[in-house]
Each structure stands twice: as C-alpha cells, then as structure tokens.
Amino acid sequence: MNPKEISEGIFWVGAIDWEERDFHNFQTLRGLTYNSYLILDEKKVLIDAVKHKFVSEQLERSSKLVDPKEIEYIVVNHIEPDHASGLADLLRVAKNATVICSQKGKEGLCKFFECKDWNFMVVKNGDTLKIGKRTLMFLDMTMLHWPDSIATYVVEDKILFSNDAFGQHVASEERFAEDLGVEEALKWAKLYYANILMPLATLIKKKLEELKGVEVRLIAPSHGVAWRNPKVIVESYARWAEFKAENKVVVVYDTMWGSTEKLARAIAEGASKNAKVRLFHVRKDSWTEIVTEILDAKAVAVGAPTIHNSVFPPVAGFLSYLKSLKPKNKKALAFGSYGWNGVAVKEIAKALEELGFETQQFAVKFRPTKEELQRAYELGAELSK
C-alpha cells in the first residue's frame, strides 16, 4: 500500500474500505474511503486520522515517506469516528504529534478518548500555522458536518482539505474526480449531499459565500475523490442547497395486498405525461437512492396502506428519515388503500405538510376500482404539471 502524491510534497495516505455497505444507515453501494493527507515540509503534518480498523493501512502508506515519529502535527478536521476513531492508535506510533482541532473538537475527542497526555493546539477560524515554506490556515466549518468541524487550507498551494464537505462515499483507486470521471464523481457527491448534508442547506449557502473569498485550486475532501476543478462541485452544492428541481416526480410506496401498489403505478403513469418519474418500493429500494432522487424532484407522492390504525411501518420509518433531511420546495400527494379507516393517508399528508409541501390526499377503500385508478392517474398527471 503506497502513498499517492496529489500535489508536490503532499500525499494521500488514506484507506479504502471496499467492503462497507452500511455507513450509519447510508447504503454505501460501492464502499467508501477515509482520506488522510501527509504534507512533507519542514514540519511533517498529517491531515486527519482514519477509521480505527484502517490505521495500519494509513501507517503503511505514510511510513513509505516518513517515520511516523517525525509527524509533528495531526490535524483533526472532524471528530466523527469514521475519521477520528483511529487517532489514539495513531498517536501511539506518532508519539510526538500535537493534535490540531477546534475547541469543540478537543472537547469531543476527550469524550471519545482518554486524552490527558495528548498535546493539543486549539484553533479558531482564520488561525494560521507556518510549517516551513507552507502556511496552514484553519477555517471554521461548524455543522459541516458536526459542531467541531474545521477545514484546513494550504495557503501557498491553494488546497482546501474540506473534510466531509464536497466528499462522496465511493471506494476507488482514483484520487481525482477527473480520473474517476467527473459525472461519476458528481453522482456519488449528490448521494452524499442528499443523505448527509441536505438538512444543512441554509448553512451551506452561507459557507459557500464565505468560501468565495478563498482562492482554491484543489478541493481534497475526506471521502472519495478530490476536485481539480473546484467550480464543478461548488456549483453543484449551490444548486442542491437552493433545492433547484427538475421536472421529476418521485413515487414512493409500500403495499400489503397490492392495492396501494396499483395506485402507485397509476400515479406514476399519469405523472409520466409531463415529467420524469422514479418509482420506489420502500422495502425493496435503497432509501439512500430514494432521498437523492427527491432532492431535486419537483413533486413527491408517498403511499401506504393503513395497518393497526396507523401508517404501514416501513413507510412511517421512511417518512421519519425524510423529515430529518428537511427537503424543501415540493408539491406532494399522499395516497393509499385502507380497510375500515384511512388513517395512513392522513398521517402521510401531515408529515409532508410539516415539510412545507402543498399536499393532496387520495385514499381508497380496499381494491381500487377502474374509476379510482383513473383518478390516481389524473392526480399523477396533475402533480407532474
């Protein structure tokens, strides 16, 4: 396992997790990476640790460049365990390193680890550190993705180590979007944004404004590939944070005896009159993919049967996930079949309305008749307008 030079004197020394398929419920369909970067200057600086079980991989790559005992600083841009759970093991080898992080980062690390013997350098937004011919500048990234988050900017090289922001969950040998394929990288970046960062849209817009004042040649996040043309990903973030939508209707449903499914299909067919349609079954399809499609859809239809005077549980669970991600600016339809009361449709509508979606309801007793299927088709067509 070798380091990869990403810029003169700056190397990727991270780890590739080819096998992981579940990142706290985010389906990592093609694995992920925990990126770490080693800067060789008068001072040797490691940007970010990695997940605990990959520390040996990080050390093997790093040791080909420098004896880990010579690492003087380890920047912890973010304390979430996918990055920082390997820190204690790393510090047992890089014994002389000072940990650089935010105040909240320090407080968090000392909850995760016994840290009384560690050397810390706590930094604030705009603080700098000269490491030889290079200067590191630390930028506040509060809530991108946790309250502790910072980014590290290498002033002379114009490289932004952005940690979670601009990342993607995809395992690859390629280290640049241009090598993986920009469209491919954007596809994974959108999945990441939708499932991890969507609820932070307002903050992201503000942060993008602030970053306009920083000249960046390369964005190197902590997951996935780096962006040699930062404009591509920055503009995509701006679009996603605005919830810019396309003519697309996403239909999401579950079914007990096929009636809600019939409605879902009729709605989807009707919607296809004027828009692109995506139809998902909540127990068979990936929630990670469903919410990514919802991010830039103009309309969403959610359907479930009523069971035990409530919403069919898989749909209730999905709605809870959707609500936590706070999508915005959509029209909606709540639909479903029921036996003796239509509670599910009312509850689905309530959840969608709480998201600010203008929502219609369509509930059908037992099996939909031909006329009711025609009505579902028309509601789909209406939604697509």
Amino acid, single-letter form, for residue 284: K
- First-to-last CA distance in the chain? 54
| Residue 24 is among the residues annotated as catalytic for this protein | yes
Q: Does 17 bind ligand FEO (CB under 6 A)?
A: no
Choose between 35 and 98: whose C-beta lies nearer to ligand FEO: 35
Question: Which residue, 74 or 264, is less far from ligand FEO as judged by CB?
Answer: 74
Q: With respect to ligand FEO, which residue has the nearer C-beta, 199 or 314? A: 199
Least distance between ligand FEO and beta carbon 35 (Å) = 9
Residues 74-113 that bind ligand FEO (CB under 6 A): 78, 80, 82-83
User: What are the b/e assignments for 19-47, b being 16+ CB within 10 Å?
Assistant: eeeebeebebebbbbbbbbbbbbebbbbb
Q: What is the smallest separation between the CB atom of 83 and ligand FEO, expressed in angstroms?
A: 6
**Least distance to ligand FEO, CB of residue 17, Å:** 12
> Does residue 281 carry a catalytic annotation?
no
CA-nearest of 277, 313, 282 to 297 is 277
Please say which residue, 153 or 192, places its beta carbon nearer to ligand FEO. Answer: 192
Dihedral angle at the C-alpha atoms of 221, 320, 335, 341, nearest 10 degrees? 170
In the annotation, is 80 catalytic? yes
Cα separation, 289 vs 292, in Å, equals 5
Told to judge if 169 belongs to the known catalytic residues of this protein, a careful annotator would answer: no
Cβ count within 10 A of residue 65: 17
In a 13 Å sphere around the CA of 132, the CA atoms on its Cβ side amount to: 11
Active-site residue identified among 34, 37, 73, 192: 192
Task: List the structure tokens of 235.
Answer: 């503009």
Least separation, in Å, of the C-beta of 256 and ligand FEO?
37
Name the active-site residue from 17, 48, 57, 82.
Answer: 82
337, 226 contact by CB (below 8 A): no
Q: How far is the CB of 78 from ligand FEO (least distance, A)?
A: 5
Sequence-separated (6 or more) residues with CB below 8 Å from residue 261: 253, 255, 281
Interaction with ligand FEO in 183-242: which residues (CB under 6 A)? 222-223
Which residue number, 78 or 331, has a Cβ lying nearer to ligand FEO? Answer: 78
Helix 230-241 with 201-211: angle, nearest 10 deg: 140
Q: Which of 37, 73, 145, 253 is labelled catalytic?
A: 145
| Smaller CB separation from ligand FEO, 32 or 376 | 32
Contact letters (x/-) for ligand FEO, 159-178, by CB under 6 A?
Answer: -----x--------------
Write b or e for each residue in 337-354: b if 16 or more Cβ atoms lie within 10 A of its Cβ, otherwise e.
Answer: bbeeebbbbbbbbebbee
Catalytic residue among 223, 261, 293, 347: 223
- Which of 192/357 has CB closer to ligand FEO? 192
Q: Say which of 8, 19, 24, 114 is annotated catalytic.
A: 24
SS3 135: strand
Residue closer to ligand FEO (CB basis): 167 or 327: 167
296 contacts 248 by C-beta, under 8 angstroms: yes
Q: Distance between CA 194 and CA 178 in Å, rounded?
A: 22
What is residue 225's DSSP assignment?
Answer: -
Binding residues for ligand FEO, rule CB under 6 A, total 9
Name residues contacting ligand FEO, limited to 301-360 (CB under 6 A): none
Q: Can 82 be counted among the known catalytic residues?
A: yes
Helix (H) or strand (E) holding 103: helix 103-112
Could you tell me the smallest distance in angstroms from the CB atom of residue 193 to ligand FEO? 13
| Catalytic residue flag (residue 48) | no
Catalytically annotated residue among 17, 48, 78, 148: 78
Q: How far apart are CA 157 and CA 280, in angstroms?
A: 45
Binder among 44, 61, 106, 145 for ligand FEO (CB under 6 A): 145
137 contacts 152 by C-beta, under 8 angstroms? yes
Torsion over CA of 341, 343, 344 and 348, rounded to 10 degrees?
150
Min dist CB 329 to ligand FEO, Å, is: 26
Q: How far is the CB of 90 from ligand FEO (least distance, A)?
A: 16
Which residues are catalytically annotated?
24, 78, 80, 82, 145, 164, 192, 223
Site residues (vs ligand FEO, CB under 6 A): 78, 80, 82-83, 145-146, 164, 222-223
